[in-house]
A = this chain, B = another copy of it.
Amino acid sequence: MKKELAGYPVVVEIPVAWGEMDAFGHLNHAVYFRYMETARILYFERLGIPEFLGRDPLGPILGAISCRYRAPLTYPDRVSVGVKVTRVEEDRFVMAYVIFSHGLGKLAAEGEGTMVCFDYRQNRKAHLPAKLKTRIADLEAKGF
């Protein structure tokens, strides 16, 4: 595994599609967020969301996300997107992302997003369920 991806318990490989480039001839900026989403969804699957939350009306929603672009991506290429949880608070947790370009042999971008625990029944923020915190800790532990 690439050292840039070390410490990321969930990594997904994505082929860059030609059609994801824009008129500048680079991967369009918005697509990096699609790539991070793909990794995030996989992370949640590994956590067992939604199955394990069962009929709980709670779920994490994306409160904010950012991306720092370090090198332009172009087709053809293949990226590995790593994601990990870097901080857990009462009603939210922070996820860090890296997008590693196999073509360039280095990071193309880094991102960070905040997931907020939301109670769909009461339509407001809620505390993270203890079992979700445990799952995150377990998943992160496996990755290190």
Interface residues, chain A, CB within 8 Å of chain B? Answer: 14-15, 17-19, 21-23, 25, 28-31, 33-34, 37-38, 41, 45, 61-69, 75-76
Partner of A69, one of B19, B34, B45, B64: B64
- Bound complex: CA of A29 vs CA of B41, how far in Å? 13
Main secondary structure on chain A at its contact with chain B? mixed
Stoichiometry, copies per complex? 4
Q: Are A30 and B37 in contact (CB under 8 A)?
A: yes
- Docked Cα-Cα span, A19 to B34, in Å, equals 7
15 residue pairs A–B, Cβ–Cβ below 8 Å: A14-B15, A17-B37, A18-B22, A18-B37, A18-B38, A19-B22, A22-B22, A23-B75, A29-B33, A29-B62, A30-B34, A61-B69, A63-B69, A64-B66, A66-B66
